[in-house]
Chains A and B, each alone.
Chain A
Amino acid sequence: MPDDTSDGGDEETPAPFDADSAEGSGRPIGDLFETVSDRRARYVLAHLESLSVDVVDLEDVAEYVAQRERAAERETESNPSDDSVGQGSGDDAGSGVDVERHCHRVAVALHHNHLPKLDAVAVLDYDPRSRTLRYWGDVRVATVLDLLEASENR
């Protein structure tokens, strides 16, 4: 048992990660935070939290995430300096082809990275063959999302 707790300025000693043994599903909460630090993963979870069904298609989630990304992009584009425009470019979301391509890109990123990662931290089940995911709700997720959202909107 390592008992060298109060060693003062010894940065080499890895702090015991108490948060990791958080109650509940037995998965480290640190992993969850790290996974959720990615914006796409956050969008995925926000979408799942908002749904009442527990099985969702990849395409469905990708569409939602792509939509959020385009909305966020539009916001950052219209925010700086010109608050006089008001409307004008209401729906410049691009052509249908662009939207479709964006959706597919998001789907590929989710399929290869975010969803299996969220599966690995036991937040959801992702079946890459059927490209469906199952989400059973998770208090930790709701809490972490709230925290991140609050800090983002400061």
Chain B
Amino acid sequence: MRDTDESRDDADRRTERRHVRYDPDATDRPSELLVRAVADAAGVDPLELDPLFRTVDPDVLDEFVAAGALPDVDGQVSFTYEGYRVTVHPSGLFGLEPAE
């Protein structure tokens, strides 16, 4: 990853398309992972983002991902949050790309 080059930070990382995968063994919830991923992409602290609840109920999102462990859960949800098009697969895979 060229993320190591600190000098080419902001503009670059903001336009990048990225994926993060939720680790079911993590202590964080899927929604917390998402918030951190968006904050990371935008180069800000998670507390500077608009509350995720205003876009989607984090508890519902967490349940959606938790249900991915069931064999017959399919489909995906997507929404726009803080300038990013977010796609959530029930498998715990999050896709982020700049909206518009």
Contact = CB atoms under 8 A, between A and B. Distances in A.
19 contacts: A107-B47, A108-B36, A108-B46, A108-B47, A109-B32, A111-B47, A111-B51, A112-B31, A112-B35, A112-B49, A112-B53, A113-B51, A113-B52, A113-B58, A113-B59, A116-B51, A120-B53, A128-B50, A128-B51
Interface in B36-63: 36, 46-47, 49-54, 57-59
Nearest to B49: A112
A57 B59 CA distance: 24
B87 to A, nearest CB: 19
B31 A113 contact: yes
Contacts of B32: 105, 108-109, 112
Interface string A85-126: 000000000000000000001011101110111001000001
Interface of A: 58, 105, 107-109, 111-113, 115-117, 120, 126, 128, 131
- Counting chain B CB atoms within 10 Å of each CB, the highest count among A58, A112, A128 belongs to A112
Chain A interface mostly: helix
B85 to A, nearest CB: 19
A47 to B, nearest CB: 18
Nearest to A114: B53
Nearest to A112: B52
Contacts of B36: 108
Contacts of B47: 58, 107-108, 111, 131
A58 to B, nearest CB: 7
- Counting chain B CB atoms within 10 Å of each CB, the highest count among A58, A107, A116 belongs to A116
A15 B46 CA distance: 41
A3 B22 CA distance: 48
Contacts of A108: 32, 35-36, 46-47
A58 B50 CA distance: 14
B70 to A, nearest CB: 23
A115 B47 CA distance: 12
